[in-house]
């Protein structure tokens, strides 16, 4: 029997931050339980290696969503990190705080303390901003400007943006994030810099934090309405650990609601159907599932792109040697080189699309694989867009009382009419961009289907047939003021159960406009401050 002040379920982005912040004073002891193993792997540390780790069952939960009716019955692939560092160890590295109105929306939904003015100081506290030799800030998260590594083909994207009179920003995480620009990534000295690097390892070095890997949490132990500890499987044995001050579930938007439901906290009818005693009837556990959907448009290019560097063996060897010698070159960055947050039309009151320009194609990749180290054998590039704030809501439900059985993921995509309007607005925007003179100078030919040939109805149908998740799942343990429609309050305490919190992207009331890793780190930092303040 182990006993600690706090038990954190999950060594992902949020769990790592919490482990660090809660042990910094030396007063608290913390146990971190992680389903995966070590993150000390070559393809995790090499930034472009995420193209392989996305589909590696050794480091990822390789989930499949239920057939999605509005997407032609397709079952989307949903990878989540199952490794120390969680999804911050396998993601595409982009660091975007989100837009200030995203967080004001959280506050205005009945969550005081979560507006932009409240959360901005936590972002600042987290970050060290790296631009060449200059450094700004002193936080543990290294946010690197890799614009020097950006492929020269990107100049056509910026020229097209100017032709469309789009604003330009030099920093998506600065005071003016709207516009097109270069993406910043979480690397340090050319290596991926995950939440485990930034937070968990310093916590472990203090001696007040213990990490146990390759465990599967069966349930939270609840007595008299209080979370007392957790029960988990390790090496075929069922073990327990007790928490003096509280249990924190930080297992992510898929696994956090699964763990609550396995513990008897969730929709009563669902729990009873699986023979699980109802500890707290909470319909909202697993509801409010949100994600970003994006669509790619592929083109053959009139000039060399990353395909020409990374497809031939000679180019692979040269790029590998360059990376080994200097920690620079194509292997040192994400393939999401540039993009932006833009308004699809003049009537939009704030940015409603996120754009990506990737100077690489992998259209011929086998199904369910993304061998980004082996792109297509011709010069090519990708333009993508995703609507920023989807309105449709899905669900996560356990499929069995056995924790080893994956939960059912029901995205319920595009069921809100507003989302159809958003994808049409995005398609029209993309059509205008592809038709610019600047893009014409780069495009040799579209790789079908060509958006230039599509009507409005065609664009909607194409999106339904080809769109995919950008892996920004959130919202399934929503923060809100009403226990009937939310799971946690604004201090992230689970309604109806004392000494139990959920702290990760599952508590987002609404998905932020862009990539979700940075907001998750911020949320955990602010949550730790609330905990320590108590």
SS3 for 74-133 is ECCEEEEECECCHHHHCCCCECCCCCHHHHHHHHHCCCCCCCHHHHHHHHHHHEEEEECC
pLDDT of residue 370: 52
What does the mean pLDDT of the chain come to? Answer: 95
3-state secondary structure of 477: coil
The number of beta carbons lying within 10 Å of the beta carbon of residue 452 is: 12
Quick one: 179 and 318 in the same domain?
yes
| CATH number for position 423 | 3.30.560.10
- What phi and psi, each to the nearest 5 degrees, are found at residue 199? -125, -45
Q: Does the residue 99 lie in any domain?
A: no
In the DSSP assignment, the letter for residue 56 is -
Q: Does residue 448 share a domain with residue 302?
A: yes
Is residue 248 within 8 A of residue 291, CB to CB? The reply is no
In a domain, residue 72? The reply is yes
Residues 305 and 330 placed together within one structural domain of the fold: yes
90 occurs within a structural domain: no
Q: What is the pLDDT of residue 348?
A: 94
CATH number of the domain encompassing residue 240? 3.50.50.60
**pLDDT band of 461, cuts 50, 70, 90:** very high
Q: Is residue 83 part of a domain?
A: no
> What is the spatial distance between Cα 142 and Cα 149, in angstroms, rounded to a whole number?
17
Last residue of a domain, one of 469, 487, 505: 469
Q: How far apart are CA 462 and CA 127, in angstroms?
A: 39
Where is pLDDT greater, at 246 or 363? 246
User: Is 388 in the same domain as 501?
Assistant: no
- What is this structure's pTM? 0.96
pLDDT tens-digit readout, 17-63: 999 999 999 999 999 999 999 999 999 999 999 988 988 999 999 99
Check whether residue 429 and residue 340 sit in a common domain.
yes
Say if residue 391 is in the same domain as residue 417.
Answer: yes
Do 445 and 342 lie in one domain? The reply is yes
Asked if residue 65 belongs to a domain, the reply is yes
Same domain, 271 and 200: yes
At 136, the pLDDT band (50, 70, 90 cuts) reads confident
pLDDT of residue 418 exceeding 80, the answer is yes
Average pLDDT over residues 372-401: 93
Residue-level pLDDT at 29: 97
Range of the domain at 345: 43-78+144-191+290-395+404-469
Tokens of 332: 């040192």
CA dihedral 163, 169, 172, 176 (to 10 degrees): -120
pLDDT of 475 reads: 98
pLDDT of residue 368: 52
- β-pairing verdict for 77-81 and 60-64: antiparallel
Among candidate residues 435, 451, 469, the one where a domain is terminated: 469
Q: Is 324 in the same domain as 416?
A: yes
- Catalytic residue list contains 472: yes
User: Domain for residue 415, yes or no?
Assistant: yes
Q: Are 211 and 302 members of one domain?
A: no
Rounded to an integer, the average pLDDT of 438-457 is 96
**Can you give the pLDDT at residue 51?**
84
At residue 369 the predicted structure's pLDDT band, cuts being 50, 70 and 90, is low
Compute CA distances 233 → 116, 243, 275, 491, whole Å.
40, 17, 20, 30
Please report whether residue 91 resides in a domain: no
pLDDT tens digit sequence for 76-99: 999 999 999 999 999 999 999 999
Mean pLDDT of 461-468: 96
Selected catalytic residue, list 122, 142, 156, 472: 472
- Copy the structure tokens of residue 315: 């180019």
Final residue before a domain boundary, out of 469, 490, 517? 469
C-beta of residue 173 within 8 angstroms of C-beta of residue 143: yes
> What confidence score (pLDDT) does residue 534 get?
84
240 and 301, same domain (yes or no): no
Per-residue confidence (pLDDT) for residue 375, from 0 to 100: 87
Would you say residue 234 has pLDDT above 70?
Answer: yes
**C-alpha closest to that of 50 among 234, 192, 209:** 192
The answer to the question of residue 96 being in a domain is: no
| pLDDT value of residue 1 | 64
- Which tokens sit at 502? 């959920």
**Rounded Cα distance, 23 and 31, in Å:** 11
Does residue 374 carry a pLDDT above 80? no
Average pLDDT on 187-216 reads: 97
Which of residues 371 and 407 earns the better pLDDT score? 407
Distance CA 159, CA 182 (A): 14
- Torsions phi, psi for 175 (to 5 deg): -70, -15
User: 427 and 371 share a domain?
Assistant: yes
Residues 6+ apart with CB under 8 A from 406: 61, 63, 64, 399
Please state, in angstroms and as integers, the Cα–Cα distance from residue 108 to each residue in 7, 99, 404, 482, following that order: 31, 15, 38, 13
The total number of structural domains in the chain stands at 2
């Amino acid at each position: 029997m182990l006993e600690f002040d706090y038990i954190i379920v999950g060594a992902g982005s949020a769990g790592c931050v919490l482990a660090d912040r809660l042990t910094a004073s030396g007063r608290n002891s913390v146990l971190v339980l992680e389903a995966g193993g070590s993150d000390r792997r070559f393809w995790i540390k090499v930034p472009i290696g995420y193209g392989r780790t996305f589909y590696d069952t050794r480091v990822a939960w390789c989930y499949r969503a239920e057939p999605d009716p509005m997407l032609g019955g397709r079952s989307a692939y949903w990878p989540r990190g199952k490794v120390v560092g969680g999804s911050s160890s396998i993601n595409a590295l982009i660091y975007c705080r989100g837009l200030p109105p995203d967080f004001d929306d959280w506050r205005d939904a009945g969550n005081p303390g979560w507006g932009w003015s409240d959360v901005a100081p936590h972002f600042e506290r987290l970050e060290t901003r790296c631009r060449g030799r200059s450094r700004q800030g002193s936080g543990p998260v290294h946010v690197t400007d890799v614009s020097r590594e950006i492929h020269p083909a990107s100049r056509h994207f910026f020229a097209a943006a100017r032709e469309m009179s789009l604003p330009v920003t030099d920093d998506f995480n600065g005071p003016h994030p709207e516009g097109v620009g270069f993406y910043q990534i979480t690397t340090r000295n050319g290596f991926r810099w995950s939440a485990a690097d930034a937070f968990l390892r310093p916590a472990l070095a203090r001696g007040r934090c213990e990490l146990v890997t390759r465990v599967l949490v069966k349930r939270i132990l609840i007595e008299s309405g209080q979370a007392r500890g957790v029960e988990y499987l390790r090496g075929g044995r069922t073990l327990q650990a007790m928490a003096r001050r509280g249990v924190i579930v930080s297992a992510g938007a898929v696994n956090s609601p699964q763990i609550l439901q396995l513990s008897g906290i969730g929709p009563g009818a669902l729990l009873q159907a699986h023979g699980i005693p109802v500890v707290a009837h909470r319909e909202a556990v697993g509801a409010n599932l949100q994600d970003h959907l994006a669509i790619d448009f592929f083109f053959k290019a009139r000039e060399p792109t990353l395909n020409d560097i990374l497809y031939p063996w000679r180019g692979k060897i040269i790029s590998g040697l360059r990376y080994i010698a200097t920690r620079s070159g194509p292997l040192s960055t994400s393939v999401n080189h540039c993009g932006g947050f833009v308004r699809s039309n003049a009537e939009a009151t704030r940015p409603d699309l996120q754009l990506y320009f990737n100077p690489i194609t992998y259209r011929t990749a086998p199904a369910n694989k993304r061998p980004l180290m082996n792109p297509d054998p011709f010069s090519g590039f990708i333009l993508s867009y995703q609507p920023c704030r989807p309105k449709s809501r899905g669900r996560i439900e356990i499929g069995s009382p056995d924790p080893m059985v994956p939960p059912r993921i029901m995205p319920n995509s595009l069921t809100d009419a507003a989302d159809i309007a958003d994808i049409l607005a995005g398609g029209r925007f993309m059509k205008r961009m592809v038709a610019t003179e600047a893009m014409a100078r780069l495009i040799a030919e579209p790789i079908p289907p060509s958006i230039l040939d599509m009507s409005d109805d065609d664009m909607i149908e194409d999106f339904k047939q080809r769109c995919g998740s950008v892996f920004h799942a959130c919202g399934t343990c929503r923060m809100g003021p009403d226990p009937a429609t939310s799971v946690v309050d604004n201090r992230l305490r689970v309604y109806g159960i004392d000494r139990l919190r959920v702290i990760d992207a599952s508590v987002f009331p609404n998905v932020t406009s862009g990539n979700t890793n940075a907001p998750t780190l911020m949320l955990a930092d602010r949550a730790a401050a609330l905990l320590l303040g108590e």
